[in-house]
């Protein structure tokens, strides 16, 4: 099988859609020898911020000298981004070999369970198999959706569980209230295993606290167990100070923009302290060094300077609110903001327009590369409050080109919306990077 054939095979698995549950993945991993039991694991869930927190914690662990596997979803450009060891994508050859091995078991899984594994279940199994075969020191595993019956939740004894926050997203699968969604996301809390959360809403915290109590799992709450102060933002990131119950870290540098990223960093710091208590090398200098070297593309990522070109994958209400908060701050430093945006049909387009329109001088609506963006033009109907110019340009490259053409050197071009769109835009905008 060639790599292109492997991608075709994966695309064929998408016909099974989203089918939450642990029966198929449990069967699949059992046939493969239960690789998920062969690697120490940190399990990360939450609505927003889990990817950034994962990237920061991975960088901290690497600064401590560890070989770190990371499994994330979705990817921006290549499936290979989902499976990394010390920041390096899995090779095409290894990806193909592992996928062939897994595909050879799918018929047996279907005989055992009566159903074929989904694409995400196959990818989850591939991650565990890859990290076990490569004998990583530790693996950071990001939840795909929810928590309790997400396929990554076959992990029974993680070193640590992290729930960054809980807000509304994927209501068709997770529930229509914060309480319902929190109940599902708290499913990654395991008996006796420490848990960290950055959640603030009291109804969410009550559920997480109760689940931790039922599991006799020690619980760290970021707003309660740490204090921090955001300082100046620079052209390459920001400085902040933080103090936990254990240490005063003084002044730290984070190569990410946005107040929300400081909170993600504090979450990663508390996670590092818990791992230190378990014997991992997580001293204060290691944590500082790791945070300073962290990278996470597509999240307030600068890809050009004059004009300022920024990518951000905000796609749900909480993410868009955070983006609007950052944009309100940044607007003081730029002349105009030109927005290129493309959203999937099932996202809250009205809220996105309501929050972002007052902060921009031009809107260019484009189409994400997804079957879920069939009605991409409908977003234009939501931009009407401030009568800013709105253009419809279906082709993403043309939309970005138009924004850059219209922008002056002191302007900001912001590309946001679906992560499908951000991945493509990132590749297209490399030519503007300086």
Q: What is the pLDDT of residues 142-168, one digit of tens each?
A: 999 878 889 999 999 999 999 998 876
pLDDT at 16: 58
* Residue-range domains of the chain with CATH: 3-292 (3.40.1190.10), 301-432 (3.90.190.20)
Burial (0-12, 13-18, 19+ Cβ within 10 Å), 383: buried
276: which residues sit within 8 A by CB, 6+ positions away? Answer: 282, 283
Query: Could you tell me the two tokens for 70?
Result: 């990371």
Q: Is the CA virtual torsion 318, 324, 329, 334 positive or negative? A: positive
pLDDT at 371: 81
pLDDT at 380: 92
Instruction: For the sheet with 160-163, list strands across it.
Output: 88-89, 83-85, 68-71, 138-142, 41-45, 160-163, 195-197, 219-221
Rounded to the nearest 10 degrees, the angle between the axes of helix 259-277 and helix 50-63 is 50
The string of DSSP codes covering 365-381 is: E---SSGGGTTGGGGGG
pLDDT at 316: 82
pLDDT at 254: 98
Q: Is the CA virtual torsion 31, 191, 82, 86 positive or negative? A: negative
pLDDT at 66: 98
**How far is 421 from 417, CA to CA, in rounded Å?**
7
**How far is 282 from 279, CA to CA, in rounded Å?**
9
Task: Indicate the pairing of strand 138-142 with strand 238-244.
Answer: unpaired
Backbone φ and ψ of 117, nearest 5° = -60, 150
**How far is 105 from 264, CA to CA, in rounded Å?**
38
Instruction: For the sheet with 226-233, list strands across it.
Output: 226-233, 238-244, 248-254
> Which residue stretches of the chain have pLDDT < 70?
14-18, 168-176, 430-434
- Please choose, from the candidates 98, 134, 78, 133, the residue with its C-alpha nearest in 3D space to the C-alpha of residue 1: 98
pLDDT at 17: 60
pLDDT at 216: 98
Backbone φ and ψ of 418, nearest 5° = -65, 145
Q: Which residues pair with 241 in a beta bridge?
A: 229, 251
Range list of β-strands (E), 86-185: 88-89, 138-142, 160-163
Query: Could you tell me the two tokens for 203?
Result: 């109804």
Q: Which residues pair with 415 in a beta bridge?
A: 311, 340
């Amino acid at each position: 099988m060639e790599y292109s054939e492997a991608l075709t095979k994966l695309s064929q698995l998408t016909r099974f859609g989203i089918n939450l549950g642990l029966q198929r993945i449990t069967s699949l991993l059992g046939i493969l020898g239960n690789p998920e039991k062969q690697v120490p694991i940190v399990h990360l869930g939450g609505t927003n911020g889990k990817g950034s927190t994962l990237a920061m914690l991975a960088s901290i662990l690497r600064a401590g000298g560890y070989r770190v596997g990371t499994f994330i979803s979705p990817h921006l450009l290549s499936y290979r981004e989902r499976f990394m060891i010390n920041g390096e994508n899995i090779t095409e050859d290894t990806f193909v070999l592992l996928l062939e091995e897994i595909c050879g078991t799918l018929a047996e899984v279907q005989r055992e369970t009566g159903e074929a594994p989904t694409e995400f279940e196959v990818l989850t199994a591939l991650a565990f198999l890859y990290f076990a075969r490569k004998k990583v020191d530790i693996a950071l595993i990001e939840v795909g959706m929810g928590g309790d019956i997400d396929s990554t939740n076959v992990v029974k004894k993680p070193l640590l569980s992290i729930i960054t926050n809980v807000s509304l997203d994927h209501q068709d699968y997770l529930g229509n209230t914060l309480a319902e969604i929190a109940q599902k996301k708290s499913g990654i809390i395991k008996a006796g295993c420490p848990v960290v959360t950055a959640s603030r809403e009291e109804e969410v915290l009550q559920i997480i606290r109760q689940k931790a109590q039922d599991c006799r799992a020690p619980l760290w709450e970021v707003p309660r167990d740490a204090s921090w102060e955001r300082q100046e933002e620079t052209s390459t990131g920001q400085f902040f100070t933080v103090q936990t119950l254990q240490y005063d870290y003084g002044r730290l540098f984070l190569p990410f923009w946005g107040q929300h990223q400081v909170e993600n960093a504090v979450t990663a710091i508390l996670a590092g302290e818990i791992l230190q208590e378990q014997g991992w090398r997580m001293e204060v200098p290691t944590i500082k060094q790791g945070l300073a070297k962290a990278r996470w593309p597509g999240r307030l990522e600068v890809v050009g300077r004059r004009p300022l070109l920024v990518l951000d994958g905000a796609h749900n209400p909480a993410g868009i609110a955070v983006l609007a908060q950052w944009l309100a701050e940044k607007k003081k430093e730029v002349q105009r903001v030109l927005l290129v945006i493309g959203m999937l049909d099932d996202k809250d387009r009205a809220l996105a327009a309501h929050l972002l329109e007052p902060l921009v001088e031009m809107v260019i609506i484009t189409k994400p590369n997804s079957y879920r963006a069939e009605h991409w033009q409908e977003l234009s109907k939501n931009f009407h409050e401030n009568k800013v110019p709105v253009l419809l340009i279906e082709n993403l490259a043309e939309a970005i080109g138009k924004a850059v053409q219209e922008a002056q050197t002191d302007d900001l071009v912001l590309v946001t919306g679906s992560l499908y769109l951000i991945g493509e835009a990132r590749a297209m905008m490399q030519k503007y990077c300086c």
